[in-house]
Amino acid sequence: MGRILVVNAGSTSLKLSLVDEDETREPVAALAGVDPDGLDAVAHRVVHGGPDFRDPVVVDGGVRETIRRLEELAPLHNAPAVRGLDEATAALGGVPHVAVFDTAFHTTIPAEASTYAVPRRWRDEWGIRRYGFHGLSVQWAAERVPVPRLVVCHLGGGCSVTAIRDGRSVDTTMGFSPLEGVPMATRSGSVDPGALLHLLHAGRLDADGLDQALNHESGLAGLAGTPDVRELEARSDENAALALAVFSYRVAGAVAAMAVATGGLDALVFTAGIGEGSALVREHVCERLAPLGVELDRALNAAAVPDADVSPPGAPARVAVIEAREDVVAARAARGVLAGR
């Protein structure tokens, strides 16, 4: 099967790329510019599959409607995915469209890690559990660094840390929604639910205001006024320093927790915009992880261009910077589904 158009509609960006059988890719600026000749399928990255989708699926009216209903679980992500699906279907209706879900890779997480300690009705009837996200990115990183005990830091607009044991996800920081876990560009990450209940009960915020604040006004932007790590690194004020310190501290703590799930640490991967682009963040995170055998070669780290190792030879744990290639994983999944039709 030849070329696959991959539509990656994230919370902060829309990326389009054509992926050939040899997994080379060509960025695409707009759907209107895609020539359907030679195009075999369109693969859509969908963040939240909920309890309904555990595998890639050819999109029909029922699948689209289910993805739309799942917007309530991930409104920042599934809503753009539905818009991308509608636009691509209108422009390229003559080829099959396949939905590939970020949550699918995390279906291997054991119950002890995926289960929240909440009432049974929440879990059984309302589907409250840890789903996990960034699955396509994490899967690619796990393939590039195939060690038994791996932790992947996907640090971009959204941020998560995932434990991989023998190629399978066994725990991750994002949970029921992409809001849980470490701080992100504009998202808070985990916050004491008691603080949130206090704000609601005290009338300081209503549910919509709380949603807006946690998803759009928190994280690095809430700490220092900008979600851009490059701007923070260029500043010398206390707020910028605090934002970077909070971020690196929480990421390092999450890596340590994930190392418990993997039973140790053979390798640590940094990927996505911040993970690939910020040598300073990698340095600060790794400094905090020295007790786990994590070492960084500062010269290699400063000059790193993905894919690259940034740990010294013979270090107990390998540290690698890997380019995020969600498009390749999505294209592979689409080919696999269509080959089995």
Which residues participate in catalysis according to the annotation? 102
Maximum separation of any 2 CA atoms in the chain, in Å: 59
Q: Which two tokens stand for residue 61?
A: 């009216």
Tokens 């070492």, residue located: 295
| Nearest Cα to Cα of residue 8 among 331, 338, 341, 335 | 331
- Distance CA(206)–CA(308), nearest Å, equals 46
Residues paired with 9 in a beta bridge:
14
Judge whether 78 and 67 are in contact, CB under 8 Å. yes
- Distance CA(134)–CA(112), nearest Å, equals 20
Which runs of E-coded beta strand occur in the chain? 3-9, 14-19, 25-28, 39-46, 57-58, 97-101, 149-155, 159-165, 168-172, 267-271, 308-309, 318-321
Judge whether 3 and 315 are in contact, CB under 8 Å. no
- Residue 307 backbone phi and psi in degrees, to 5: -90, 135
CA-to-CA separations, 148 to 23, 88, 165, 252, 262, in angstroms, rounded: 25, 39, 5, 20, 8
Count of alpha carbons within 13 Å of 326, Cβ hemisphere only? 27
Q: Which two tokens stand for residue 117?
A: 């300690």
Judge whether 76 and 215 are in contact, CB under 8 Å. yes
Distance of CA 82 to the CA centre of its chain: 18
Judge whether 297 and 313 are in contact, CB under 8 Å. no
